[in-house]
Structure formats: structure tokens, C-alpha cells
Structure 1
Amino acid sequence: MRFLLDTNIISEIRKQERCDANVMRWFRAVDSGSLFLSVLVIGEIRRGAEMLRERDLRRFEAIDHWLADVKLAFEGRILDIDATVAEEWGRLGMRRSLPVIDGLLAATARIHALTLVTRNTSDVADLDIALINPFLA
């Protein structure tokens, strides 16, 4: 199996010893080579870091360094939003109104035959894609 990690999962894993035990157990049980990210996750992490830049430089720098490590660790496994994914997103969005990023992650998972790993399974549960919520035991 191959997996597409949502931002809420990669951010939880970053917590290390404070990480939810179920999430950490799941993460340790899967082959790291089977884990993928979307460029959207990279963007969400960058946005979160930038929101801290002016008010908490120390936290900004920590997230900035972590993001660099994430990009290195996932080199070759960070997926773009291309025309095929965009068209699938358009098809998925015809069923009901979808938050843009959630819909694009679901479309990416479907096009690349990945299981979407997210805490927010209810956001995309009706889209006929494979889902895992590792927070649940």
C-alpha cells in the first residue's frame, strides 16, 4: 500500500514524544518509501511558518528547518497538482461542494492510487477513495 499524508498527519508526527500514540504506531509500521506528500501540504506548512515569522521568530525558524527536513526526506515523493489531478478534482467537486485543498488531496490520492491518510476522513468519506484515520485505534 502507498499513502498520501494530509498536513494534520505530518504535523502530528512532528510532535515526536507528544505525538498521538495511535498515529505513531501506524507511522512506525509503514515503510517510509510508501509515504507521499502533496505540494499542497508543503504549502500549508510554509503558510503556517510564515504566519509566525513576525510574532515568534523562534517557532518560525523551527518550522522552517523542519520543512526543509521534510522536503529532503520526501524527495521524489512530493506530488504536484497537474492537469490530470485538476480534472479529477473537477469531477469530484460535481458531487458536492468540497473545500479546495481537501478535494485536491482526494483527487491526487485517486489519480496516484494512494490511500489518503487524514484525521478529517468525514470531509472526503463519500468520494470513493481509500482512507485511513490513524488517530483511531
Structure 2
Amino acid sequence: MKLLAISALLAGATQAFQFLNDIPVDGYYDEGSDFVIEWKPEDRNDTFRLELYTFLVDPIYVGPSPYPWGGPIYDYNETTTVLDAAAKYSAGNFTWHIDLINGREGAGWYYRFGAILASVGEVADYARSFHIQAS
């Protein structure tokens, strides 16, 4: 019974954090502009890690799985950039000056924000993916 209570508590904690940005499906943003990342502010003093991920829309086929029960192996060429290692829950926003990561622009690359919530064991919450167009 205790395990069920702990699971429910952790599920509630991860659902409490949420990004508020209304990012359109397949949305494009301009390099060099500012993007205000918004989340539901909370009255607390601890922090979370705000990250930016980039990855391929169409992954590269690496090969078959070495295991008989596995499917094919793909490489999404994902990278992670820490935007703020100690973002405050109470702040409710962070302004990101849009820069291309390793020249990754256009329809072939996705960008996505994530929040790593150390208070609940490194659980991440993600905003919808989008594209960056070069200026």
C-alpha cells in the first residue's frame, strides 16, 4: 500500500509542473529573436534545470538490433544544452535568445524545451517540438 501512495505522490508532483507556451505543431521561430519560455509559477524556493534539446526529424538508420527481440537501431543525433541550471519555479519564465545549435536549422531538425525536476528524481517535462529558421 505504501508503494501505491508513493507512486501517486510522484505522479502528482510531475504533473504539477507545466509549460504554458502555445507552440504550434511544426512551428518555426527565427534565429536571433527572443523566445520567452513560460511555465506555471509555483510558490517555492527550490529550482529545476531548464534544458534545450535538438534532434533529427528523420533519424539515421544504424542497423538491426543485436538482440533477437529488438527492433532496428536509429540515431536521432540528439544534443542537450542547459539554458538555466537553476531556474526558479517562482519566476514563471526564462528568455532564450534563439541561437542555432551546431547549425541545426530548418525542417530537418526539431528543438524542444525540457525541465529536469530534481525534486522528484530527475523526471522531465517537455514542451512541444518546433523548428528554427536561420536569419
Q: Comparing both structures, which one devotes a greater share of its residues to helix?
A: 1
- Structure number with greater CO (CA < 8 Å, separation at least 6) is 2
> Could you state the TM-score of these two structures normalised by the residue count of structure 2?
0.22
> Could you state the TM-score of these two structures normalised by the residue count of structure 1?
0.22
